[in-house]
Amino acid sequence: MGHNIGIIGTGNVAWHLARSLENSGHIISTIYDRNIDKAKKFGLDYFNAVFTNTLDFRNTEATVFIMAISDDAIEEVAQAIILPDNTHLFHTSGTKSIESLGYARTENIGVFYPLQTFSKGKQTDLSRVPFCLEAETESSERILKSLASSISKEYHFVDSRQRAVIHLSAVIACNFSNHMMSIAKGILESNDMNFDLLKPLIAETINKALAIGPENAQTGPARRKDLKTLDKQLHSLESDESLSKIYEVISQHIIDYYSE
């Protein structure tokens, strides 16, 4: 059975969740953004949607509200929101605890956190995305399980502390790795070479790490303790103090990790 859903926010996470939920048989009936034009633009794909820039939802048909907004805004919105009776309110943050919804005028609060990186306009198959769930009441637990199972093959109930650990690990594994690729691209382009050269290597590195474990897939001069190469490459970066520091710290961390 589908749920009648209100989406609070119009960013990347909201864009993906709303489409996936509607495609799975739920109804997106309300879309909120402080900028009403953003709400209207976001909702063009949803025939049943009402657009609003007010947090008073007493006259809406939604029974489940999903807050896909910035972490810093969650507590403020939870305190200001006015909900119909017997509704459920969930946020999608990886770092904010369930208590951040404590000011909301409902006991049916929870967390609906998709463990994935999103870019608006680029489709992501949510059926392969793990959802981390947390519920304050049995009713919220049932709703969260219903929502997650309708769009994904994998979901887990974890508490706020565990979710924070998961998010930290995700930042290091994904955000940091992506930034390292940005640095590598910049080095190549500053020497009139194309980033495409690295793409097969990057793909093989990721595939190998997933297949045999990143600790077993590590290669390179730091793993071999090739100090001559490390010193040579560090010297080539001496004109960029912050980049040379990154290279030095990470290389030393790899050496120490495999020396234990």
Looking up residue 244, the CATH number of its domain turns out to be 1.10.1040.20
Strands 131-135 and 109-114, sheet pairing = antiparallel
CATH number at residue 69: 3.40.50.720
DSSP 14-26: HHHHHHHHHHTT-
Same domain, residue pair 202 and 76:
no
Domain boundary among 124, 158, 192: 158
**Residues 111, 53: Cα–Cα separation, whole Å:** 23
Domain boundary among 143, 158, 173: 158
In the block, tokens 């650990």 appear at: 165
Element containing residue 182 per DSSP (H, E): helix 177-190
Same domain, residue pair 170 and 123:
no
Same domain, residue pair 180 and 120:
no
pLDDT tens column, 81-135 = 999 989 999 999 999 999 999 989 899 999 999 999 887 767 788 999 999 999 9
Same domain, residue pair 73 and 109:
yes
**Residues 133, 112: Cα–Cα separation, whole Å:** 5
Domain boundary among 158, 181, 212: 158
**Residues 140, 148: Cα–Cα separation, whole Å:** 12
Residue 107's domain comprises 4-158
Helix (H, G, I), strand (E, B) or coil at 31: strand
* pLDDT greater than 90 at residue 157: yes
In the block, tokens 């009936």 appear at: 29
pLDDT tens column, 164-180 = 999 999 999 999 999 99
- Work out the pLDDT band at 260, boundaries 50, 70, 90: confident
Same domain, residue pair 119 and 95:
yes
Domain count, the chain: 2
Scanning 24-130, the segments in alpha helix (DSSP H) are: 36-42, 74-80
Give the model's pLDDT for residue 148.
97
